[in-house]
Amino acid sequence: MGEFRERYVKLSSAFLILIFVAGLTTGGIVSFYITFQQTSSLKNEVSNLKNQVSKLWGFQNVTNQTIIVLQNSTALSELYENVQDSVVLIRGKTTGEGTVQGSGFVYNFSGTMVVITN
């Protein structure tokens, strides 16, 4: 009876190992198939996007222009150079929705320096 029991345990162990290996193999094959399908689908989508972008690329016209905007015979770039140090950032207290922020600039109003904000 002991020999039969020992043989039964060995066969049971071998059967469980066989089921485990079969499960791993099946899982690997299924995972590979799913991954392969998703990869193929993504490659097709990328190829379609490349085609669409190449069609759009042909219709683009690139034009470079240097534009100087004048206000009372002064270029805005010169104006910015003159006033860039007077630009201010204003931070208010933090609320439940975030920090209140704004911007403005310093202006000499009749001898009094004031900050003008939007």
> Given this model, what pLDDT does residue 24 score?
92
DSSP helix/strand/coil, 105: strand
Number of domains in the chain: 2
The residue type found at 1 is M
Residues 31 and 83 in one domain: no
Residues in the chain: 118
Residue 40 domain-assigned (yes or no): yes
Could you list the residue range(s) of the whole structural domain that residue 28 is in? 1-59
> Given this model, what pLDDT does residue 65 score?
62
Whole-structure pTM value: 0.36
Residues 1 and 32 in one domain: yes
Residues of the chain with pLDDT under 50: none
Q: What is the per-residue burial (b if ≥16 Cβ within 10 Å, else e) of 32-47?
A: eeeeeeeeeeeeeeee
Residues 55 and 105 in one domain: no
Residues 44 and 76 in one domain: no
Residues 34 and 3 in one domain: yes
Residues 45 and 5 in one domain: yes
